[in-house]
Chain A
Amino acid sequence: MSKIRDSHSQRYRVFGTALAVIIYIGLLAPLVVTVPMAFGPANTLAFPPQDYSLDLFKIFFFTSGWRGPLFESIKIALAAMAIAMLTGVPAGYWIARHNFVGKRLVTGVIMSPFVVPTVVAALGLYLCFSYAGLSGTMISLVLGHVTVALPFVVLMIIAGVVKLDPNLEFGAELMGAGPIRMFVTVVLPQLIPSLVSSALFAFLISFDEVVISSFLAGPNTITLPVKMFGALQWEVSPVIAAVSSFLMAVSLLVCIVAIALRRGAPLEGER
């Protein structure tokens, strides 16, 4: 940015870059470490592994103890994603484009999971669902995950809508399209990048969710993160390396798609 090229500022810049590189390594090291271990043998947990195999992935994908929770998580994440998208996309559009009575209140409640500690939300949801007689059901987990996925969807849709040209929407309405027709034919096609990335992030949030799930899960609704959390608390088995690499691959895929679509990438993330 500054055009000066004297040795002092040069050295200063090198120092800053060196610090940044150290921090990047510190951020990525824990992720990278798990990958070679995932291809290690099934009986010992050592870094680097002595020999390489796919045994851990076989255990992960083909024993019911891990495969069941994996499928449970996928089902719940798909359902939570669908609900968050169906409710969050229209709401995000309306919040971005209109002023209405109670807008601050509604937006505040929808965004509240960003500031309410997850444990507090989890306990509240647990108390609620026990009261409603839904303890341990899949519905309770899906709804619990929706509470954390919805604010992200709404935020990303608002960010996407703000960048659109409102004149196209006025034009469509002047030509006689009703609000829903206008939304479907004018707004949604332009929003596709935001829609894809917010759906992927909604899926990922639910798929990785652990605190709310561990409060709400019953014996028949153990998700992959709940299973993994339990395994980490009691005995660290080598399979966890394979599960970790798998989770990381899913995250990497979502991040790459979101960056490729750019417009929808959440530059302010919070978990």
Chain B
Amino acid sequence: MNRSSTIGAQAIFMSPAVLLAATIMLPPLFFILYTSVHGTSLSLHEYREIASSSLFRRTLGTTLVIAVASSVLSVFLAFIVAVHLARQTARRRTILLVLVLLPLWTSILVKCFAFTIILGRDGILNGILSWLFNTKIQLPLVLNRIGLFVGLTNSLVPIAVFPILASVLAIDDSVYRAASIMGAKPARILRTITIPLSLPGILAGLFTTFVYSLGAYIVPSLLGGPRDQMLSNLVDFYNRQVLDWPRAAAISVVLLAMISVFGTPLAFWRQRKGIGGARV
């Protein structure tokens, strides 16, 4: 195939996607930036306002605390699942994978609904506790930080399982055999082989879940209380209640900036290590 026909074919194959990218993927980001600085007046007014707003600062604090805690916990839980899956035969793994894929692909609304049923004042968990202790127990487990944390972690675990599983599966079997022949106990194998060698997957899982939890919107609005709202809910609040789009846009820019701050070092690290090049 000569060069000009390659370019012609390239135009045919790539232009529809490029057109979409240029019309509906880039402009929204541009519009947010543009709106946040009041258009061509390039004013930093909104950024000064949010920097001195106690509502914003409190929400930022909540967001960071919840994002860090839920992503670390979910990666820990996902690691246990990934190691378990990696030990299974390919056939059993396929079946067990459904147990992770189904929650991953089930609407977040379904999970939030279920958690209001499970964790509610007269919910299943309080019912079981009441029955066990033979008194009426109504622990407040939902519409507060506990509900938010449980719901968010639950939705993050399946996301973290897959990158970690890929890393754990990539570890050469002979390394394990060598270690056990040399007399290493399972705890030591875990500490000196499995964890260090699956670090790329663990970090990818950590980044993905952290990005996802920073932008969490549905879970805090359905399972969190009024004091547990996150930055996304603040964006929605200014957009829908206050109709203050520059403010909503400025908070969005802050969210994007936070993700770049945490994402760039990881991207460089992965590139240097030459892993996951084809991945996101």
Contacts and interface: CB of A to CB of B under 8 A. Distances in A.
Contact of A121 (B28, B87, B108, B259): B28
Interface residues of B, number: 101
Contacts of B10: 94, 98, 100
A23 interface: yes
A24 to B, nearest CB: 5
A131 B31 contact: yes
B109 A236 contact: no
A79 interface: no
B152 to A, nearest CB: 13
A30 interface: yes
Q: Kindly name the residue among B22, B176, B217 whose own CB sees the greatest number of chain A CB atoms within 10 A.
A: B217
A68 interface: no
Interface in B1-56: 1, 5-6, 9-10, 12-14, 16-22, 24-32, 35
Given A2-B177, A115-B280, A124-B29, A31 B110 contact: yes
For the residues of A in contact with B, the DSSP-based class is: helix
A47 B124 contact: yes
Given A90-B13, A251-B102, A117 B211 contact: yes
For the residues of B in contact with A, the DSSP-based class is: helix
Given A23-B81, A28-B103, A215 B279 contact: no
A90 B12 contact: yes
B224 interface: no
Q: Which size bracket describes the interface of A in this complex?
A: 35 or more
B254 to A, nearest CB: 10
Given A33-B124, A123-B248, A247 B255 contact: no
A202 interface: no
Interface of A: 1-4, 8-9, 12-13, 16-17, 19-20, 23-24, 26-31, 33-34, 37, 45, 47, 83, 86-88, 90-91, 93-94, 98, 100, 106, 109-121, 123-128, 131, 143-144, 146-147, 150, 154-155, 158, 162, 173, 178-180, 183, 201, 204, 208, 210-211, 215, 225, 228-229, 232-233, 236, 240-241, 244, 247-248, 251-252, 254-256, 258-259, 262, 265, 267-271
List of 6 A-B pairs having minimum Cβ-Cβ separation, nearest first = A117-B215, A124-B28, A30-B114, A91-B17, A20-B84, A179-B9
Interface of B: 1, 5-6, 9-10, 12-14, 16-22, 24-32, 35, 77, 80-81, 83-85, 87, 94, 96-118, 123-124, 127, 154-155, 157-159, 162-163, 165-166, 173, 176-177, 179-180, 185-187, 189, 208, 211-212, 214-215, 217-218, 221-222, 232, 235-236, 239, 245, 248-249, 252, 255-256, 259, 263, 278-280
